Amino acid sequence: MLGVVPSPTLVPDAVAARLHLFLERMRSESSDYGPDAAGLIDSAADTLVGGKRLRARFCHAGWQAVARVADRAAAPTDALWDVCAALEIFQSAALVHDDLIDNSDTRRGRPAAHRALEGTHRDAGWRGDAAAFGRSSAILLGDLLVAWSDDLLEDAVAPLPHAAAVRHEYARMRRDVTVGQFLDIAEESAWSVHATESHLARALRVVSLKSARYSIEQPLVLGAAIAAGDADQLDALRRFGHPVGMAFQLRDDLLGVYGDAAVTGKPAGDDLREGKRTVLVALTRQTLDTATRDLFDEMLGDPDLTTEQIAFLQDIISGSGALDQVERMIGDYAEEADGALSDARLDGAALGELRDLARAATVRTA
């Protein structure tokens, strides 16, 4: 065991320790693949550097909220930290594929995985199309990370008497986020054949599947399942986690349009260049006159938008009232989440940490 972790501030260190052990094992078991494959392993390890460890933090918080009801001195186990690490590996897989889908050049202020792999091709002096190699390799890199995530999860839950509940929640999470990602990219094309008044509901469904459940709700429930939480405890954490996740993604959508590139690690207005049909966009379009809406639709999704054009679109969004409306929605979701904890049979100290995590997830600049 890694020992007791009394505060979520230490979760990243505990997860880093588990990832280090797992990566050492993967490198050892992959030694006969040859030097080119070793480069892929290194690329996978690189994706696991940095990040907020949000999913691991919520998984730990879900475990603590349940485990310490029965035993105030309960200490996190290797199984918990391995599931936390598995979540972070799966998140890396999702980001690799997400950046490829979105044609994003950067991630956390560094080259996105497909761009880094493209650079590897060039640096090695290999023949052929370096960009095509980077894209193809990134698909496989993401797949490898998904496999690693499953491997670590299975190792973690194998000795648990309630392993089936953890596996079930993890499998649902993988399905939800994959379908949510598809609906996200589908909406970039499908919006044109659906009535404007339907766009908000469609965007909210994407938020729920792609982010709210996956980023907050399901990590919480996974942690609680590891602690053998009962149905009422899991339900309370779901009712808390889902609105926090909705607010988290809405904040992310605002940062994708108005965020400071120096803080977010992504170019300002990147979501506008990518043509993301977010809640913010759906609300904007509802209030525009036909001519302005047509211009807005024409510009949205142009990868060559200039800084001035981004500022123009930002002004349209702000002037429509959508920015203020999304801020109100974030506040409403946060209030709903807080109410879900009012009568929950969860550890009192853990409730405070859950509320702190919710604030950190919804009031942020990166």
Confidence of residue 9 (pLDDT cuts 50, 70, 90): low
Cα dihedral value 83, 85, 91, 95, nearest 10? -160
Using the predicted structure, report yes or no on whether residue 336 has a pLDDT greater than 80: yes
Taken in order 290, 292, 293, 297, is the CA torsion positive or negative? positive
Distance (Å, whole) CA 286 – CA 307: 25
pLDDT value for 10: 81
Using the predicted structure, report yes or no on whether residue 66 has a pLDDT greater than 80: yes
258-303 pLDDT tens trace: 988 878 777 778 899 999 999 999 999 999 999 999 999 999 999 9
pLDDT value for 79: 96
pLDDT mean over 235-244? 97
- DSSP per position, 204-244: HHHHIIIIIIIIIIHHHHHHHHHTT--HHHHHHHHHHHHHH
Reported as half-sphere exposure (CB side, CA atoms, 13 A), residue 72 has a value of 2
Using the predicted structure, report yes or no on whether residue 6 has a pLDDT greater than 60: no
112-128 pLDDT tens trace: 999 999 999 999 999 99
Query: Model pTM?
Result: 0.92
State the greatest distance between any 2 C-alpha atoms of the chain, in Å, as a whole number: 64
Contact of 181 with 97, CB cutoff 8 Å: yes
Using the predicted structure, report yes or no on whether residue 8 has a pLDDT greater than 60: no
